[in-house]
């Protein structure tokens, strides 16, 4: 998760990158300086529709990305009773993730966040900010302590460390409000960099349920092919491309490169705090000894 202090190093790298381009193609550098990359797509609902889909399918915000102000403004203009925010994001800007979660809380519509692929780092804050959080089968969620790219002297580094602790405590409070337990419990999980598959996120109560399809093909309305709206076809094609995009995690400072590379989350410990019996699958995680010690 990146925030304002970390932008000093990020923006410096951006400036150096643009300066190198300017030496070769000054006209391209001028365009890039004003470039803001979209990381979300809103599928406008048909008139009278009950739900609108919002796709968060890339890094949230960033020094060259659209910030949360634009996203929240467009979100406020949606009037359908339900909004489904579909997420496949490796993370992004902390301040933007918090702003989006707070925008969800203030929106009059029911907000369902649905993790299609991955909701890591700041994207997990967006995911837990909805009224209901759903995990698709095979999807992943990750929480970790706030981090920044930073350059500074010893005094500045100590100041930055204190700032990071305050920000991480703040995020831990958000997870605790969603899932229960204390902020200290969640800070420990953040420090450990906890990766969760769908059912694990539900067991830890960061997510409310694993998505179950409600499709019913018993009454087909005929052939839908060949008569699709060209704009709809183009949008669906673009979304399909986004859905198949593989996010790089190796350059983000994460300890683990996905749930299959990470240790099991402390689900048994969480169940003990909730006075629930850990099931057989949970007992195999290795936290039974921790429970006994507790």
- For residue 227, the SS3 value is coil
Task: Mark whether 199 and 279 lie in a shared domain.
Answer: no
Residue 257 lies in a domain: no
Per-residue pLDDT tens digits for 246-268: 677 766 778 888 888 888 897 65
Residue 220 lies in a domain: no
Strands 82-89 and 110-120, by their bridges, are parallel
Give the pLDDT confidence score for residue 114 in this predicted structure: 97
Task: Mark whether 239 and 273 lie in a shared domain.
Answer: no
Q: Is 18 exposed, middle or buried (0-12, 13-18, 19+ CB in 10 A)?
A: middle
* Per-residue tokens: 56: 């968060």
Give the pLDDT confidence score for residue 206 in this predicted structure: 97
What is the number of domains present in the chain?
Answer: 2
Question: Which stretches in the chain have pLDDT values below 50?
Answer: 2-12, 221-226, 280-294
Per-residue pLDDT tens digits for 183-211: 999 999 999 999 999 999 999 999 999 99
Task: Mark whether 192 and 79 lie in a shared domain.
Answer: yes
Domain of 272, in residue numbers: 264-294
Task: Mark whether 185 and 271 lie in a shared domain.
Answer: no
Give the pLDDT confidence score for residue 112 in this predicted structure: 98
Task: Mark whether 235 and 283 lie in a shared domain.
Answer: no
Query: Which residues neighbour 256 within 8 Å (Cβ) at sequence distance 6 or greater?
Result: 193, 195, 262
Cβ proximity of 124 and 158 under 8 Å: no
Task: Mark whether 147 and 287 lie in a shared domain.
Answer: no
Residue 258 lies in a domain: no
Cβ proximity of 189 and 264 under 8 Å: no
Nearest CA to 274 out of 188, 197, 204, 186 is that of 204
């Amino acid at each position: 998760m990146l925030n304002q202090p970390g932008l000093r190093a990020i923006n410096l790298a951006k400036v150096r990158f643009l300066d190198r381009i300017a030496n070769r193609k000054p006209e391209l550098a001028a365009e890039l300086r004003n470039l803001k990359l979209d990381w979300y797509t809103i599928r406008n609902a048909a008139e009278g529709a009950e739900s609108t889909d919002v796709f968060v399918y890339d890094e949230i915000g960033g020094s060259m990305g659209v910030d949360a102000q634009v996203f929240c403004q467009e979100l406020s203009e949606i009037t359908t009773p339900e909004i489904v925010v579909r997420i496949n994001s490796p993370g992004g800007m902390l301040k933007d993730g918090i702003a989006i979660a707070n925008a969800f809380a203030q929106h009059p519509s029911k907000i369902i966040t649905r993790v299609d692929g991955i909701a890591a780092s700041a994207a997990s804050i967006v995911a837990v900010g909805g009224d209901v959080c759903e995990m698709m089968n095979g999807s992943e969620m990750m929480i970790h302590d706030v981090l920044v790219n930073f350059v500074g002297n010893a005094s500045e580094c100590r100041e930055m460390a204190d700032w990071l602790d305050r920000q991480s405590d703040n995020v831990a409070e958000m997870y605790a409000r969603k899932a229960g337990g204390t902020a200290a419990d969640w800070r420990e999980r953040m420090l450990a960099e906890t990766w969760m598959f769908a059912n694990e996120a539900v067991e830890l109560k960061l997510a409310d349920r694993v998505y179950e399809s409600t499709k019913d093909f018993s009454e087909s309305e005929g052939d839908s092919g060949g008569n699709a709206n060209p704009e709809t076809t183009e949008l669906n094609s673009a979304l399909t491309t986004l859905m198949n995009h593989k996010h790089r995690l190796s350059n983000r400072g994460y300890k683990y490169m996905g749930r299959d590379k990470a240790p099991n989350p402390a689900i048994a410990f969480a169940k003990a705090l909730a006075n629930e019996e850990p099931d057989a699958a949970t007992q195999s995680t290795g936290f039974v000894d921790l429970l006994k010690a507790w």
